[in-house]
């Protein structure tokens, strides 16, 4: 099983649509979870952290299910500017000084006009 | 605020030539620093990380090496490049005392080995 697994897509959706991405992780000891956004030929940028209780930031909602080792990202009212690759990211092990993050290969979102 | 710089932005090098990529962080002290590589159409692969000056941990055995001569400087090197070294090289930092462990990336260096 891959350490972090995502559907690669692409997800082609019209403007205004709601789209959901899922991610599973294999290490039950992981403590921190994130979604990053990566535009074509650019560096990844932190979109949001994922908290156990679920969290929302504007049109974006992240959910964590520790029992199923599953993370999700919901985007409402999609904009053309949301087109990017979304990376699911999980910290590895028990934290501490090394703070290694494992990145999924990403899900490509293309929002169509 | 913190910023992270990488240079050069783009590099084309012949097989067998040396490599030196530099990363510097401003606005923070004692960060953890990381080098990643992203091959075309692939995910991010962690190459090296450093928790302090002179402290380097290697994740993947290969012909690359890393050094941290100063607190906020991280260098990626190779003595002889291979074709398979082509990719997008990203430096990242995180604050040592940050509980949530998020990492912040520099703009990257796109390396093509010919």
Q: What is the pLDDT of residues A62-105, one digit of tens each?
A: 999 999 999 999 999 999 999 999 999 998 755 555 668 899 99
The predicted pLDDT at position B96 comes to 74
| CB spacing of B108 vs A42 below 8 angstroms | yes
Contact residues, chain B, for A49 at CB < 8 Å? 100, 102
The predicted pLDDT at position A8 comes to 86
The DSSP letter of residue A99 is -
Q: Is the predicted pLDDT of residue B99 greater than 80, yes or no?
A: no
Residue A80 C-alpha, separation from nearest chain B C-alpha, in angstroms: 22
| CB spacing of B43 vs A104 below 8 angstroms | yes
* Across A13-17, B3-7, B15-19, B56-60, least confident range: B56-60
Structure token digits, residue B64: 């690359």
Task: Tell me, yes or no, if A20 comes closer than 8 A to chain B by beta carbon.
Answer: no
Residue B9: burial class (beta carbons within 10 Å; 0-12, 13-18, 19+):
exposed
CB A23 within 8 A of CB A33: no
User: What mean pLDDT do residues A2-23 have?
Assistant: 94
Neighbours of A87 (CB within 10 A): 26
Q: Which tens digit of pLDDT belongs to each residue from B72-86?
A: 999 999 999 999 999
Share of chain A above pLDDT 90, in %: 75
Q: Which tens digit of pLDDT belongs to each residue from B20-74?
A: 999 999 998 899 999 999 988 788 999 999 989 999 998 886 899 999 999 999 9
The predicted pLDDT at position A30 comes to 85
């Amino acid at each position: 099983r891959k350490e972090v697994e995502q559907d690669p897509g692409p997800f082609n959706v019209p403007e205004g649509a709601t789209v959901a991405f899922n991610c599973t992780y294999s290490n039950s000891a992981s403590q921190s979870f994130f979604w990053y956004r990566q535009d074509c030929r650019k560096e990844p940028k932190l979109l949001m952290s994922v908290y156990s209780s679920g969290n929302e930031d504007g049109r974006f909602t992240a959910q964590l299910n520790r029992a199923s080792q599953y993370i999700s990202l919901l985007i409402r009212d999609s904009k053309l500017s949301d087109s990017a690759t979304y990376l699911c990211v999980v910290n590895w092990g028990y934290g501490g000084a090394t703070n290694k993050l494992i990145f999924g290969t990403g899900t490509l979102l293309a929002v169509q006009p | 605020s913190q910023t992270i710089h990488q240079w050069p932005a783009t590099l084309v090098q012949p097989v067998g030539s040396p490599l030196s990529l530099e990363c510097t962080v401003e606005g923070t002290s004692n960060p953890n620093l990381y080098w990643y590589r992203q091959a075309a159409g692939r995910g991010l692969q962690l190459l090296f990380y450093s928790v302090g000056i002179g402290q380097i941990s290697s994740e993947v055995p290969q012909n690359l090496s890393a050094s941290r001569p100063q607190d906020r400087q991280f260098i990626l090197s190779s003595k002889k490049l291979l074709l398979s070294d082509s990719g997008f090289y990203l430096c990242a930092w995180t604050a040592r005392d940050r509980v949530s462990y998020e990492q912040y990336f520099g703009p990257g260096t796109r390396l093509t080995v010919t």
